[in-house]
Every structure is written in C-alpha cells, then in structure tokens.
C-alpha cells in the first residue's frame, strides 16, 4: 500500500490516478487548507474517490497522533511525500509557517517510516534549492547551501533530514527536485494558470523584472513518469533532477499562451521580487541514466494541452 501526502494537490492527484490505473492501493493524506480553493482540490480526486482502492484521510502532517493512527490503520509500504506549504513569495511573509509545515511535517513522516519499517520514501523536492546559481545547467552535485527564500531553505533542510534518516536507519530515500511543473490542475496562483486566466478575462497580467527570467518548465506527465520510475528503482539514497532540460523566458511563455488562447495580454511591468531566481535549468543526465527518465512534452505542446484543459474547465476555475 502506498501513502501519498498532499494527494489532493496538483502533482499528488495525478500520481494517485496513475497508481490506481496500475492497480495499486493508495492512501491519500490532505488537509484541504485554504492556500487555494479546497473545492478545486476535492475535484482533483473526484474520480479517484470512486475507486475502492483509494482511501482518503483528511488531516495535517504536523499532527503526529493523526499520522500515527493512519499508519496503524493501513499496512503502508511506500511513502511519496508531496505535502508542503508551497510558494517562494508567500514564504517570505510567513517563514515560521513554512518551517513548521515543511520541516516538522517531513520529520513526522520520516519518523513513522522508521517505526513502521516502510521500504521506500520518495520526497518531492524543488529546484529552488539551487538558489541564484550561475553555473548551468543545475546538477545534483552542485552545492545547495545558499537558498534565497524560506521555502527553498525548508526544502533543502528536508533533503538533509532525509539523508540523515537513511544513514541512521537504512530507509531507502529518493529526493526528486521538480522544475516548475505545469499542466492540468496546476495551482491557480502559478504563472501559467494565472496568466491564462487573466488573459482570457481581458485583465492585466503582472510580469516581474524585464521578461528575461527563464524557467525549465516541466509538463505534469513527464514528472509522473519520473516519480513512477523512482518507485521502481528505489535506490538506497539518491537525488534526481526532474525537468525538461530546456529553458523558456517569461515573455516567450506569455506569447505561447496568447497564441493558444487567441487573445493578447495586457502586461503590467513590476520590479523583480525578493526570493525569485533569474533562471532554473535542469541537468537531467543522471535521471536519464539511472531512472530511464525521458521527458516527452515540449513547452509548445504542453501549453496547448493546458489551454485546452482550461477552456473545458473554465466555469469552475474562475
């Protein structure tokens, strides 16, 4: 049985759908907080909820007795830990909240993995741990000791805690550093979803900086392929980048959304934001070699698919 934390979220719900399709039995933990609409999260797992092999447990990963009861109730063999307080800019406003949820929540799960002898622990990491690195593309061997937001600092600290539990107790841990994941069900405050909605509604979109910042945008299907490969391999301890290994600048991203919507953007230019990095760019050679990871969806096709999904679901998303 597989536990997916944050399972009603963007990545988690897609992973659960894939696991159920493959005949797995899945426990989903989610607290349906108000970071964004709980109704959207519930709609993410609406189809999964009809499956008898899906088990939803509503609660907080910071609540140790709640988690302990879940581990008592189900014979959990694998954990895919995706639950986190997300977002760079909000973490600057609420660093204590980010440290509590991301730090304590992860330690709680590692401790229960130790106690209940869980065979595999996959941690959903972030490219934010690389900070404002100038060496590109970003390699797993690069030093990650200068995070520039509380969110990034918590994600890096959790990687270190994962290694500590592996070293002390032999837990098999794989850290997956996700690079700007997008696609259907993406969180509404993330750039692609936000820009698409605002352009569609004829409202201004906020662009920070001069439009030259670049991201390694990774389509959700490629990320799920990487997670599933990591499950199959279950190395003793490894860190892998999961990205497309291609960068797209901000203004090009906007143009792609315009093209697929058939509408022009009204742009409001704003200063650079603290905590934002100028570039993310994944070296995925290690994931290719050791996981067989092979991303298939370029940004042009991914944006087309996202806009198609948005149009079909526009009424409930706006």
- Give the pLDDT of residue 245: 95
- Give the pLDDT of residue 79: 98
DSSP one-letter string for 24-68? --EEEEE---TTS-HHHHHHHTTTGGGSTTEEEEE--TT-HHHHH
Give the containing element (helix H, strand E) for 18: helix 10-21
CATH code of domain 2-182+220-244+276-295: 3.40.50.720
| Domain residue extents for the chain | 2-182+220-244+276-295
Give me the percent of the chain exceeding a pLDDT of 90.
92
pLDDT of residue 135 exceeding 90: no
- Give the pLDDT of residue 282: 98
Return the active site residues.
Answer: 151
- Band (pLDDT 50/70/90 cuts) for residue 277 is confident
Q: Which of 65, 246, 216, 85 is nearest to 151 (CA)?
A: 85
Owner of token pair 């991201």: 215
Give the whole-angstrom CA distance, residue 52 versus residue 55. Answer: 8
Owner of token pair 């599933």: 228
pLDDT of residue 134 exceeding 80: no
Which residues, other chains included, contact 48 with Cβ-Cβ below 8 Å and sequence gap of 6+? 13, 16, 17, 20, 26, 28, 54
Q: Which of 100, 160, 97, 93 is nearest to 125 (CA)?
A: 160
pTM of the model: 0.96
SS3 call for 150: helix
289-304 pLDDT, tens digit each: 999 999 999 999 999 9
Residues forming beta bridges with residue 237, ordered by sequence position: 173
pLDDT of residue 73 exceeding 90: yes
Q: Which of 98, 87, 91, 26 is nearest to 55 (CA)?
A: 26
pLDDT of residue 259 exceeding 80: yes
CB 247 within 8 A of CB 279: yes
């Amino acid at each position: 049985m597989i536990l997916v934390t944050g399972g009603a979220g963007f990545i988690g719900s897609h992973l659960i759908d894939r696991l159920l399709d493959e005949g797995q039995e899945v426990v989903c933990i989610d607290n349906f907080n108000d970071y964004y609409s709980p109704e959207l999260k519930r709609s993410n797992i609406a189809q999964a909820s009809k499956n008898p092999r899906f088990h939803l447990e509503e609660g907080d990963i910071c609540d140790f007795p709640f988690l302990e009861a879940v581990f008592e109730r189900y014979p959990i063999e694998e954990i895919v830990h995706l639950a986190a307080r997300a977002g760079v800019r909000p973490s600057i406003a609420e660093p204590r909240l980010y440290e509590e949820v991301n730090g304590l929540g992860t330690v709680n799960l590692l401790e229960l993995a130790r106690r209940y002898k869980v065979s595999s622990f996959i941690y959903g990491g972030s490219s934010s741990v690389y900070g404002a690195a100038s060496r590109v593309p970003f390699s797993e061997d690069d030093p990650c000791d200068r995070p520039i937001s509380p969110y990034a600092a918590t994600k890096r600290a959790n990687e270190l805690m994962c290694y500590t539990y592996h070293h002390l107790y032999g837990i098999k841990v794989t850290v997956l550093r996700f690079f700007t994941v997008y696609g259907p069900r993406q969180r509404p405050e993330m750039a692609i979803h936000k820009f698409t909605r605002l352009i569609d509604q004829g409202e201004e979109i906020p662009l920070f900086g001069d439009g030259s910042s670049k991201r390694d945008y990774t389509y959700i299907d490629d990320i799920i392929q990487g997670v599933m490969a990591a499950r199959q391999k279950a190395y003793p301890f490894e860190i892998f980048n999961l990205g497309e290994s291609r960068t797209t600048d901000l203004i090009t991203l906007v143009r792609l959304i315009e093209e697929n919507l058939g509408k022009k953007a009204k742009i409001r230019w704003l200063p650079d934001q603290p905590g934002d990095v100028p570039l993310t760019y994944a070296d995925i050679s290690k994931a290719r070699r050791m996981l067989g990871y092979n991303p298939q969806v370029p940004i042009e096709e991914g944006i087309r698919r996202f806009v198609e999904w948005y149009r079909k679901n526009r009424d409930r998303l706006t």
